Chains A and B, each alone.
Chain A
């Protein structure tokens, strides 16, 4: 498909393959970094709201701004929110919960089913900041994987979390989760939870690339299933894509950037996509961008209709 020309390698669409070049201007760099800046602002901002509410008594009209932590919380003393995976584990311990937490889990489930399940991972989970740092250092040092580990193992961990919850009578993952330890101790006071987070960092840095978030984490596995129906997706334009592969080099879940599937669906359809936006900003051809699933589908249909119409028009002509 790809051929040689005096410009270098050509993509399947006949355009020259260009590598990603970091802009030299600061504003250009900011544009490339825009999603990572937004993501850090969201992640740290939410933690700050939690921290301010419990430690500095932040309130609006005498209502606490955001009380609790990422396992369960209440916005302005009105809207309950809860971690649906934690609630699922408690459900497996065969305990009946109050409606408040069930409503909260339902709200969060609906939000992430809409935004993309693993949008949680890239935009909210505090461990993401640690594993992104590990991945960055790893790229700098050029560390290779210590051994190979299938990415489907997280679904085994997910199943194990539910089975152990049923057998031991406690929410199995919540009791050892480095994610909960991390945000809880950042909000309510530092204990030894950082050792678990350090373990995740070292595992990701030296043992396996994206080892925790991409291979083991059962919460990510849970949200990957929620993300199957996600409405916010990265759309893919096969017309402009030169198959340069820059996106897959940086993507923490490169299997979701399968070109055949992406071409077929017109988007990155896999629930394992975290909507982190890295591929969008690194793409030298601007072939990838955030879009709505229904919009992408509608476009795809109209295009295929065009394709069907064109030959008949030709025949008519």
Chain B
């Protein structure tokens, strides 16, 4: 009787010890996984990468995309790189994505972590170019616009807009990124002539805001009232070209 009791106790102890070990090990293990996953937003993925969480699950870390890339753009994150281990990423300032039309990295991916349905490289969204206006040469009034000229989707992803200049009659010509077209290839970041790039590709989730449905931009909506505003705006007189030129050529700048 006492013997069977003690064996039952032994058995329960064994089960308890096993469960405690597995639970402790599992906790430490899942902590390690979370630590790595936390770095996910800072990695720029190859074109066609599926959403962050899906990519983390689907990427088998085989590096076939790295093999396929003809420009050595892609690397696999090594231990200590502060990017989920073994996953492919690129650093545009070193080598940007040159947007091969046949997308060899996507073709090489065996798991579908790089969206097989991506047909046009211009539809890829690797990141979003963001301009640091404090350090952008164009924003200092210089005629740089290198990013605009280097952009593979120039005049769509990056346009040049004129902007009033405080100390001069002359306008500034400043680059403006359009998230509707920017693929995040990073050619602009590579080309930027400043010591540290003033235009950088970043995961849109980290920089992009959202207006939300509770704001209505009246001038974008067709209503009877906005129609009235539009007709009035059209009748407003613009300054003639001649007057504008005279203004620029007369007197102090």
Contacts and interface: CB of A to CB of B under 8 A. Distances in A.
Given A90-B57, A93-B57, A95-B57, A82 B67 contact: no
Contact of A180 (B18, B30, B61, B66): B61
A175 B32 contact: yes
Contacts, number: 142
B78 A73 contact: no
Contacts of A190: 78
Given A90-B58, A171-B57, A97 B111 contact: yes
A64 B67 contact: yes
A71 interface: yes
A76 B81 CA distance: 31
A164 B29 contact: yes
A195 interface: yes
A169 interface: yes
B81 A83 contact: no
A96 interface: yes
Chain A contact patch, size range: 35 or more
B68 to A, nearest CB: 7
B25 interface: yes
Contacts of B58: 90, 95, 97
Nearest to B80: A192
Given A160-B26, A164-B33, A176-B33, A74 B60 contact: no
Interface of A: 53-54, 64, 67-69, 71-74, 80, 82-83, 86-87, 90, 93, 95-98, 100-101, 104, 156-157, 160, 163-164, 167-172, 174-176, 180-181, 184-185, 187-193, 195-196
Given A72-B110, A172-B29, 17 more contacts: A54-B66, A71-B60, A72-B111, A74-B108, A82-B62, A83-B60, A93-B57, A98-B109, A98-B110, A98-B116, A156-B21, A167-B30, A170-B33, A171-B57, A174-B86, A189-B78, A191-B78
